[in-house]
Amino acid sequence: MQILKEKDGFGGELIAQLKKRGSKATAQIESSVSQIIADVRGHGDRAVADYTVKFDGAMSEKTELTHDEMVRSASECGEDFLSALRRAADNIRRFHERQKQQSWFETGADGVMMGQRIRGLKRVGIYVPGGTAAYPSSVLMNALPARIAGVGEIIMVTPPAKGGRPNPAIMAAALEAGVDRVFQIGGAQAIAALAFGTETVPAVDKIVGPGNIYVATAKKQLYGTVGIDMVAGPSEILILADETANPKFLAADLMSQAEHDVLASAILLTTSERIAQETLLELDRQKETLERRDIIEKSLETYGAIVVCRSMDEAVDFANELAPEHLEVCTASPMDYLGRVNNAGSVFLGNYAPEPLGDYFAGPNHVLPTGGTARFFSPLSVDSFVKKSSFLYYTKEALAGAKDDIITLADAEGLTAHANSIKVRE
């Protein structure tokens, strides 16, 4: 991992390089996923089973789990894990409860009424990766906002663990978050099953949750048939640090993202060359004890950088242009920068708010926009699981007062039938 010094033009080059990275689907993957989607649409459960056997080696004997089976599986978890899970869920609930909006309407003296109705989606699907990795935190982050939004039914799909058994940690999180039904299927075939419905899997209105390139590609191809949260790319972190930052903390936080994937990006921007040098030494020292050292080294070598900036203003401008998924501000007065950071998925302020705090426990959602899309996308939230309808009511007298303006505007657009709809009510 190199230490670079910012000079005119360099920042733009680095940002362009980082935005080019990603796990974009090849033409072969796009074609394969299209075929899977078509087969599941046409053949339902049989196609899901065939593809599961093809890709996973076997189909679980029990596709849908009963509530009792979920409870028995969750009981295998230790009490320390369950207690931590409950405390995390409480924090996530508390944060997302503040996001709830209310329907509203207003009335005018002329009898006009108008407003907005807000309600939860009827049914949503949550994809949770399984197999060799288990992410109970993803269950909480996806299901709890849906539950708070008032979604009628939450369907979860997740590949079974080895031996065809459900993952106990994922089952515990599903019970804690109030998931209604769980199906042991995964991959693009599970996404297609949620989108179209099969003999056993109900069709949903929206699909959320992380997955591999096949899952992400299936979500992208099915957008429009169903809603999706986002097509997420590799994880990323950008840290702003001044001369007061702790290099030990900075190195640890950079590697906490680099261990996700060889495509992950970890960038440190600092105004102190001393901090840059000491952080580099800490990276070499700390990585020796980490299990995913090979992934970390590849990630840092390819998409990592330590940049010595000429000023914090320059660093903030760089951050806003990159629009990172995670942004840490490790400075003497981190709150001074909060109002100046306009593009970031989630902002972590100070030396004691590391990114994993948000991943697991604090409350804000960890499903965040990546690849610079924080310029126009927002984190997963309660709003992601509601739909809004407007309504209005006019009296005859109120319409008469507006008719001339409406007819004028309709005529200007050449839509005479629109104008006629008003004229016949005169």
Residue 171, phi then psi, degrees to nearest 5: -65, -40
Alpha carbon distance 209, 229 (integer Å) = 7
* Crossing angle of the two packed helices 79-97 and 168-177, in degrees rounded to 10: 40
Q: Which helix (H) or strand (E) holds 79?
A: helix 79-97
Task: Determine which one of 6, 297, 325, 328 is catalytic.
Answer: 325
Q: How distant is the alpha carbon of residue 423 from its chain centre?
A: 49
Query: How is residue 237 written in tokens?
Result: 């972190």
* Sheet with 227-228, side-by-side order of all strands: 64-65, 181-183, 153-157, 123-127, 206-208, 227-228
Which amino acid, one-letter code, is at 261?
D
Active site residue 243: no
Q: Which of 307, 301, 302 is nearest to 322 (CA)?
A: 307
CA dist., res. 394 & res. 402, Å (int): 10
Q: Is position 326 annotated as part of the catalytic site?
A: yes
Catalytic residue among 236, 326, 328, 366: 326
Beta strands in 136-264 (DSSP E): 153-157, 181-183, 206-208, 227-228, 236-241
Q: How many CB atoms lie within 10 A of CB 153?
A: 17
DSSP one-letter code for 106: E
φ, ψ of residue 146 to 5 degrees: the values are: -65, -45
Q: Which two tokens stand for residue 413?
A: 């657009």
Tokens 């903390």 appear where?
A: 249
**3-state DSSP call for residue 281?**
helix
Structure tokens at 207: 């699909």
Report the catalytic residues. 325-326
